[in-house]
Structure 1
Amino acid sequence: MTTVRLWTDAEAEADPRVKAVFDDIRATRKSDFINNIWRALANQPDTLDRLWAGLKAVMVAPGSLDPVVKEMIYIAVSSANGCGYCVHSHTAAAKAKGMTGAQHEELLAVIGMASQTNALVTALQLPVDQQFLVES
């Protein structure tokens, strides 16, 4: 259960700042759907605006990484952070952007392997090999 009220479309329409962000989300995504994260953040319009602007800058703006790769990285980080909501929403986004079933299976294998080796290296408290250190 959520810890804050999720804004309805009618409530968002009545608040110019929230309406502007919701309208931009719909235009950017070419969809009428507004995720619960944005509906929850409507309670804090400054945070809503800042996070949406940041998400657009990182995830929507063209860059060196393919949009599917960005979504797959988001899935991996969300898995590591234990954010089920983000795993689900970004898996859906990755699939919508073309992630195949085979890519998803391989991504899950990489996440599982990284989690296992990270835990072992942490438990072993291994020093970083000199060859891996970046010289400035």
Structure 2
Amino acid sequence: MPSTLIHNSTGSHDRWSTLSPDAYRLHLPAMGVARYSRMLYASLGKTMTQHLTEYADASPEVRAVYDDIMQTRKVDQVNNFWKCLAAHPPTLRRTWESLKEIMAPGALDPLTKELLYVAVSVTNNCPYCIASHTAAARKAGMTDEMFGELQAVVGMANETNRLATGYRVPVDDMFKWP
């Protein structure tokens, strides 16, 4: 696959500029999430901006969800993900209620849940989710070393999953549920 020339915000390019979009994932720990997200968006061309429903413009139904998000997360504004979902209030409400329940304290601690969210987001190639859940993981205690190790595990898991799938490896009896 030929490289895609990506210009940074200054209009010049740097050593990451000629990577293909697929190659970015291999360099994520070295590049950092913010740079990865900018370059991925640039490689995809001009991105379509969705309508963002601000609090002042929101319906009472949407404001109720926004208020719950802000109260639960102890923040003074909602992020763009929720503002986009507000275009369809039932989806906003359902998604928030599900996320709130799943990410609440339980058998897994908050950092572990955020690390899992980052891992799945990387695998699904979702720059927005990578950025937002990396920020949440850092807030919950993730270090740079943990982030690097997480990326190594994600990369290895994806590689070995593909090999096992490609070779159609039968599941060993000792790994099967009783």
TM-score normalised to structure 1 length? 0.91
The percent identity for this pair of structures is 52
- Distance in 2 between residues matched to 1:4 and 1:90, nearest whole Å: 20
Superposed CA deviations along residues 33-69 of structure 1, whole A, max 9, x for unmatched, are 311110011111111111101111011x220111000
Residue 97 of structure 2 is aligned to residue 53 of structure 1: yes
Find 2:158's aligned residue among 115, 119, 129: 115
Superposed CA deviations along residues 73-97 of structure 1, whole A, max 9, x for unmatched, are 0111111222111111100100011
Q: Following TM superposition, by how much is the alpha carbon of 1:10 offset from its aligned partner in structure 2, in angstroms? A: 1.5
Residue 142 of structure 2 is aligned to residue 99 of structure 1: yes
The structure whose residues are more often helix, as a share, is 1
The number of residue pairs the alignment matches comes to 132
- Distance in 2 between residues matched to 1:33 and 1:86, nearest whole Å: 18
Amino acid at match of 1:7: T
Higher relative contact order (CA 8 A, sep 6+): 2
In structure 2, the partner of 1:33 is: 77
- Distance in 2 between residues matched to 1:69 and 1:42, nearest whole Å: 28
Runs of 5+ unmatched residues, structure 2: 1-46
Runs of 5+ unmatched residues, structure 1: none
- Distance in 1 between residues matched to 2:150 and 2:50, nearest whole Å: 33
In structure 2, the partner of 1:44 is: 88
